[in-house]
Amino acid sequence: MDKDLVSIQEVRDLVAAAKGASAALAAMEQRDLDRICAAVAAACAKESQRLAKLAVEETGFGVWQDKVLKNRLGSTMTWDSVKDMTCVGPLSEDKQRGLTEVGVPVGIVAALIPSTNPTSTTMYKSIIALKSGNAIIISPHPGAKGCIQETARIVREAAVAAGAPEGAVGCIQTITAEATSALMRHRDVGLILATGGEAMVRAAYSSGNPAIGVGPGNGPAYIERTADIPKAVARIFDSKTFDNGTICASEQSVVTERCIEAQVRAELTRQGGYFLNPEESRRLAAILMRPGGTMNPKIVGRTAREIAGMAGLAVPEGTRVLLSPQTEVCPQNPYAREKLCPVLAFYVEEDWQSACDRCIAILQNEGAGHTMAIHSRDDAVIREFSRKKPVSRLLVNTPAALGGVGATTALPPALTLGCGAVGGSATSDNITPMHLINIRRTARGIRELADLRGDAPAAQAPPPAAASAAPMAAGAGVTQEDVEQVVQAVLRRLAQQR
């Protein structure tokens, strides 16, 4: 049979099952949904190590020990952050203003899962979808379909055992581009939650269905002159080597100032950084991107020494990160682009204003709206960066990869990070269950049309003749206030006649 046709029919069947399940979920109380989510989180956490190893074996990306932490972030950390939320049913009531709000599920969430964070993203999206009363259909990346399908099975079985209806968690088994397209375009899909490459995110937004998509990251890390340099370098390297750089919030460039360049270089080298010379930089650049200008998947999630070997370079034992000194930012320069591996560009500027401009140029080259980091003890400079940078997350004195997803900051734990309008995204938030509901508002009338016009009710205006005759007959008892009231009544009646 034709694989494409089989996959499209499979999607139709999954959507049909999810449609019935979503109606059942929408009728549940929040406490019932919470019971389901708690069971899912516990089941995923229990399998976090096995699924982490499965992901690395299948994709070749990253470090399984780090993926265990990612799986915990996608399961128990996500659940802990959302368990007290009220997402469905009554949300708020303002009796004085006559306004109430009710959370309503969007129905069916189509969840596109990347190969870089396959198991953790499946867990995370399932929990936030079920928490908000939605059914979810998972579309795996073909390069990670086995570990994604296994994670989806664990989620589904735990959810059903806790009371979720059959069909509440679905996963495409026959992976084709046509199946993903059919899912995104299906009229019964309420929302697409797209995490992955730029082309896929654009396809989600052009599907005809509502979508939340995220673009590429390309965040610079600025080491300002007041920074604690050893701590700054340690945080950057911890971030860039975590799961070998596969989180899109991870640093892609280091920007620093001329006055501390020597100290920063020395510390980068001391902590395992290797500075490439011009020839080595040229040879490595040749393998970072494919001819069409997209990232070479062979470098994703590999160690610094593995990547150096691909380029035919010999680097010292213990090298953790490869650094290439750069002066140019443009689309053709791979060092000024997103590199999901332990490779960093290194820029030196004269002062913080020039560094600010450099960071903006890097972000506008790629990654606008996503994330950047600053290492500084100068609150005034930090405030200036927060005002001017085209990012949704400015992370201060923390590893960007872990800070962006909410592991080392107070941001909501999330593996889908909105990039805002500047990044082509529908939101700048870390995505939570509250992004997967509609809010139905009941609004009681609190004023009439006459109040808006400034008119008094017609029944209260006395007839002009009677109003004017009575004071005149009283003779000496007429006051200036009486006269003014009569005049105003006559003017209102004339206006109504016109």
Catalytic residue numbers read 248
Report the alpha-carbon distance of residue 153 to residue 453 in Å, rounded: 61
Number of Cβ atoms within 10 Å of the Cβ of 97 = 10
- Shortest CA distance to 216 belongs to which of 194, 244, 237? 194
Q: Can you list the positions of beta strands (E) in 288-436?
A: 321-325, 343-349, 369-375, 391-396
Q: Report the residue count for the chain.
A: 498
**CB-based contact 120:69 (threshold 8 Å):** no
Report the alpha-carbon distance of residue 144 to residue 118 in Å, rounded: 7
Residue 280 structure tokens: 């080595």
Report the alpha-carbon distance of residue 205 to residue 4 in Å, rounded: 22
Report the alpha-carbon distance of residue 471 to residue 464 in Å, rounded: 12
Compute φ and ψ for 99, nearest 5 degrees: -130, 125
- 3-class SS of residue 218: coil
Taking the CA atoms of 82, 87, 88 and 89 in sequence, report the sign of the dihedral they define. positive
Q: Can you list the positions of beta strands (E) in 311-403?
A: 321-325, 343-349, 369-375, 391-396
Report the alpha-carbon distance of residue 43 to residue 466 in Å, rounded: 83
Residue 56 structure tokens: 């690395």
H helices of 140-191, in order, are 145-161, 177-185
For 171, which DSSP code?
E
Burial of 151: CB neighbours in 10 Å, binned 0-12, 13-18, 19+: buried
